[in-house]
Amino acid sequence: MHIVYVTWLFAKSENEVLEGGIPNYLYKIANYMQKQGHRVTIVTTGKSERQWTYMGIPVHTIKNPYEEKGRYADRWLVPIFRETAFRQALKEINSKNPITIVQYAAGNGTGMLHDKRFPSVLWIPTYSRKEFKGMNLGLEYRRIVLYEKWAAKSFDYIFAPSKVYGIPLSQEIGKTVSIIPTPYEIEEDMVEDTSVYDRILKEKKYFLFFGRLHVEKGILTIARCIKDILSRHPDYYICFAGFMGSYNGQNLIKLLRQSAGEHKNRVIYTGKLKHPQLYPLIRHAECVLMPSLSDNLPNACLEALFLNGIVIGTKGASFDEIYIDGESGYLIEIDNSDQLAQAVDRVVSMSEEEKERMRGKANEVLKKYTFKKAGGQLERYYQWVISRFS
**Which residue range(s) make up the domain with 351?**
195-368
Do residues 74 and 34 share a domain? yes
Total Cβ atoms within 10 A of residue 2: 17
Instruction: Kindly report the CATH number assigned to the domain that includes residue 242.
Output: 3.40.50.2000
Mean pLDDT of 351-355: 97
DSSP E strands, 259-314: 267-271, 288-289, 311-314
Do residues 212 and 172 share a domain? no
Do residues 159 and 254 share a domain? no
Do residues 381 and 242 share a domain? no
Band (73; pLDDT cuts 50, 70, 90): low
State the pLDDT at residue 190.
73
Contact 284, 239 (CB under 8 A): no
Half-sphere exposure of 4 (CA within 13 A, CB side): 25
Residue type, 377: Q
Do residues 179 and 39 share a domain? yes
Domains of the chain: total: 2
Residue 18 in any domain: the answer is: yes
Contact 117, 88 (CB under 8 A): no
Mean pLDDT of 339-352: 98
Residue 190 in any domain: the answer is: no
Separation of alpha carbons 206 and 230, rounded Å: 10
Q: What mean pLDDT, rounded, does the chain reach?
A: 93
Cβ neighbours for 3, distance < 8 A, ≥ 6 positions apart: 30, 33, 38, 39, 40, 41, 100, 101, 102, 103, 382
Beta-bridge partner residues of 269: 240
Res. 337: pLDDT tops 80: yes
Do residues 346 and 378 share a domain? no
State the pLDDT at residue 123.
98
Do residues 116 and 199 share a domain? no
Band (176; pLDDT cuts 50, 70, 90): very high
Total Cβ atoms within 10 A of residue 66: 16
Do residues 215 and 151 share a domain? no
Mean pLDDT of 7-18: 90
Do residues 156 and 81 share a domain? yes
Do residues 20 and 96 share a domain? yes
Do residues 214 and 241 share a domain? yes
Task: Name the 3-class secondary structure at 356.
Answer: helix
Residue 301 in any domain: the answer is: yes
Residue 14 in any domain: the answer is: yes
- Residues 228-266 as b/e (b if ≥16 CB within 10 A, e otherwise) read bbbeebeebbbbbbbeeeeeeeeebbebbbebbeebeeb
Do residues 39 and 152 share a domain? yes
